Amino acid sequence: MSQANLKTKPKKPPVALIQAMMNITSSLQNFRAKIMPPQVAMVEMINAYQVSQAIYVAAKLGIADLLRNQAKSSKELAQLTGMHEQSLYRLLRSLASFGIFAENEDGRFSLTPLAATLQTDTPDSVRAWAIMSGEKWHWDLWGNLIESVKTGKTAVEYTFGKPNIFEYFVQNPQAGNNFDEAMTNLASMNNSAIATGYDFSGISTLVDIGGGYGSHLSTILKAYPAIKGVLFDQPSVITGAQEFIEVNGLADRCELVAGDFFQSVPSGGDAYLLKTVIHDWDEPQAIAILKNCRRAMAEHSKLLLVEAVIPPGNTPYFGKLLDLEMLTTSGGRERTEAEYRTLFDAAGFKLTKVFATASPWKVIEGVGC
Identify the three-state secondary structure at position 364: strand
For residue 7, pLDDT over 50 is answered with no
pLDDT at 41: 83
Of all residues in the chain, the percent with pLDDT exceeding 70 is 91
- Mean pLDDT to the nearest integer, 173-201: 88
Q: Any residues with CB less than 8 A from the CB of 248 and at least 6 apart, and which?
A: 214, 218, 222
Q: Any residues with CB less than 8 A from the CB of 363 and at least 6 apart, and which?
A: 194, 197, 198, 304, 305, 306, 354, 355, 357
Residues in the chain: 369
- Mean pLDDT to the nearest integer, 307-332: 93
**What confidence tier does 31 reach under pLDDT thresholds 50, 70, 90?**
low
Identify the three-state secondary structure at position 249: coil
For residue 87, pLDDT over 60 is answered with yes
* Whether 279 is catalytic: yes
pLDDT at 11: 40
Q: How far is CA 352 from the centre of its chain?
A: 25
DSSP alpha helices (H): ranges in the chain? 14-35, 38-46, 48-61, 63-66, 74-81, 85-96, 113-116, 127-134, 136-143, 145-151, 155-160, 165-171, 173-197, 215-223, 235-247, 283-296, 318-329, 337-347
Rg (CA), the chain: 22
Distance, in Å, from the CA atom of 275 to the CA atom of 277, rounded to the nearest integer, reads 5
For residue 13, pLDDT over 50 is answered with no
- Mean pLDDT to the nearest integer, 219-229: 96
343 close to 286: Cβ distance less than 8 angstroms = yes
Average pLDDT value over all residues in the chain: 90
Of 300, 307, 289, whose CA–CA distance to 363 is shortest? 307
Distance, in Å, from the CA atom of 269 to the CA atom of 286, rounded to the nearest integer, reads 20
For residue 177, pLDDT over 80 is answered with yes
**In b/e form, how buried is each residue of 321-357, taking b as 16+ CB within 10 angstroms?**
ebbbbbbbbbbbbbbeeeebbebbeebbbebeeeeeb
**DSSP characters over 131-197:** HHHHSHHHHHHHHTHHHHHHHSS-HHHHHHS-SSHHHHHHH-HHHHHHHHHHHHHHHHHHHHHHHHH
For residue 2, pLDDT over 60 is answered with no
pLDDT at 40: 87
The single-letter DSSP state of residue 32 is: H
Of 194, 159, 165, whose CA–CA distance to 180 is shortest? 165
Q: How many CB atoms lie within 10 A of CB 17?
A: 14
For residue 16, pLDDT over 60 is answered with no
Q: Of 84, 138, 216, 279, which one is the catalytic site residue?
A: 279
Q: How many CB atoms lie within 10 A of CB 45?
A: 10
For 127-169, what is each residue's pLDDT tens digit? 999 999 999 999 999 999 999 999 999 999 999 999 889 899 9
The CA distances from residue 213 to 172, 192, 235, 273, 324, in Å, are 20, 16, 11, 14, 26
Q: Any residues with CB less than 8 A from the CB of 275 and at least 6 apart, and which?
A: 187, 194, 208, 210, 211, 216, 305, 306
Of 288, 323, 208, 287, whose CA–CA distance to 254 is shortest? 208
pTM score: 0.84
Identify the three-state secondary structure at position 367: strand
Distance, in Å, from the CA atom of 2 to the CA atom of 298, rounded to the nearest integer, reads 28
Distance, in Å, from the CA atom of 299 to the CA atom of 241, rounded to the nearest integer, reads 30
For residue 352, pLDDT over 70 is answered with yes
